Amino acid sequence: MYGFPLESRIFALCDCNSFYASCEQVFAPGLSGQPVVVLSNNDGCVVARSTAAKGLGIGMGVPYFQIRDLVQEHQVKVFSSNYELYGDMSQRVMEILSQFAPAVETYSIDEAFLDFSGWRWEQSEALGHQLRQIVKQWTGIPVSIGIAPTKTLAKVANRVAKGSTGGVYALKEEAIAQLLATLSVDEVWGIGRHHAKSLQAQGVTTALELQQVQPQWVRQKYNVVMERLVWELRGVSCLPLELSPGSRHSITVSRSFGRPVTTCAELGAAIATYTSRAAEKLRQQQLSAGAMQVFVSTGRFATPCYRQSQTVTLPSATNHTATLIQQSLAATQRLYRPGYAFKKAGVILLDLVAAAKPQLSLLHPETGGRSEALMSVMDAINRRYGAGTLQYAVCGKPSGWQTKSEQRSPCYTTQWSQLPVVLAESPPQSKRPYAQP
């Protein structure tokens, strides 16, 4: 029997296994059980690995050039990042989860906390197995589910679930101490590197030792957040689900170039492209920006080296792409220096406010609804026919400066032109069941 009282909360953490790699395997069934890795922007480093790839010793974050021989030797399938596909698959998983729990907190692209409090403890594990089976059947994505009376313990339970064949683990009260004793304090959810070193210096090296310290001492030594963490490890829920994401303070779009950029024209085209994407994100979240920062940099070890940024305060908050591009290009002109090989650039939109309530300017009156209508039409066309279908000419045509993605898979679920195609041959006339004798 479960030792927790029936009135206690029940949280489940659903985590997609090797999410990026799993998304690629969904549309390439022949890769099931095979080593698969996904690379970061510019095909630089490994950001996802299938279970088979982990078994080969391929580490997270390792530069791709360091494992080329290993990839060839074991015929590892390599993919460039396809964030459009991953984002859509994540949304599908989250929509399924929302059908099984009264409240769901999307914690990251591949993780979500669920409220199982309407179920009894002895029913929660069976529900977890049912949910895992449905997600796999409907999306093809394997998930692991950890169940516990607090979010922090659900994180711990999920670690066990990932290592079990069943993929679901409900943490019983009598197993908490034994499990926490095997967990280093720096592996506890919410413990940063700085606090982990401080706790270890105080003799607190495991999650069990952290659970047993006096909450008052933790609050005096650190803060109330750390105190809540101690109570969470004791089975007392202090962290509710965050159902409404907090308002964003900034939006950043930046990329490393596929090759060094040396001309102001190419640098401006890149900045304009990033600005356009940032403006789309603004409108998706119904926000406007009151300021923006543009930054450029050469490679870290380039000679000569150059890194600089410039912040621009806008006359009034806006999400109009043309206005933002105009300001970002003016900043690019001021930042550009001849003789440098630029490797990275980006745009950060700041001072975000609700688009419906912007602070107007007396010197720069708002032009009205024409710009809003234009942006709505552009966004609708790009949603229907694919990102970048309609864009400003200053963004330029595809060029070598764009981020490398030489092994990117199609956007199977978001673009009609890239839907999977199945070819089948008709059987011979004599073998058709409806053929005339």
The answer to whether 279 and 395 are in contact (CB under 8 A) is no
State which CATH number among 3.40.190.80, 3.30.2400.10, 3.30.2290.10, 3.40.1170.60 fits the domain covering 15-148.
3.40.1170.60
- Give, in degrees to the nearest 5, the angle at Cα 393 between 388 and 395: 60
CA 266 to chain centre: 29
Handedness of CA 141, 142, 146, 152 (dihedral sign): negative
User: Mind listing the pLDDT tens digit of every residue in the chain (437 residues)?
Assistant: 344 544 468 999 999 999 999 999 999 888 988 999 999 888 889 999 999 999 999 999 999 989 999 999 999 999 999 988 999 999 999 999 998 888 899 999 999 999 988 788 888 899 999 999 999 999 999 999 999 999 999 999 999 998 876 899 999 888 899 999 999 999 999 888 898 899 898 888 999 999 999 988 989 888 898 999 999 999 888 888 887 666 678 899 988 888 889 999 999 999 999 999 999 999 988 889 999 999 999 987 777 889 999 999 998 889 999 999 999 999 999 999 998 999 999 999 998 888 775 565 555 555 555 678 888 888 888 888 777 788 888 887 767 777 777 788 888 887 777 887 777 776 666 555 544 44
Within the chain, which residue ranges are assigned CATH 3.40.1170.60? 15-148
Within the chain, which residue ranges are assigned CATH 3.30.1490.100? 251-395
Class of domain 173-233: mainly alpha
Determine the Cα–Cα distance for residues 332 and 335; give it in Å rounded to an integer: 5
Strands 307-318 and 36-39: unpaired
At a CB cut-off of 8 Å and minimum separation 6, what does 320 contact? 279, 371, 375
pLDDT recorded at residue 266: 92
> In degrees rounded to 5, what are phi and psi of residue 61?
85, 0
CATH superfamily of 251-395: DNA polymerase, Y-family, little finger domain (3.30.1490.100)
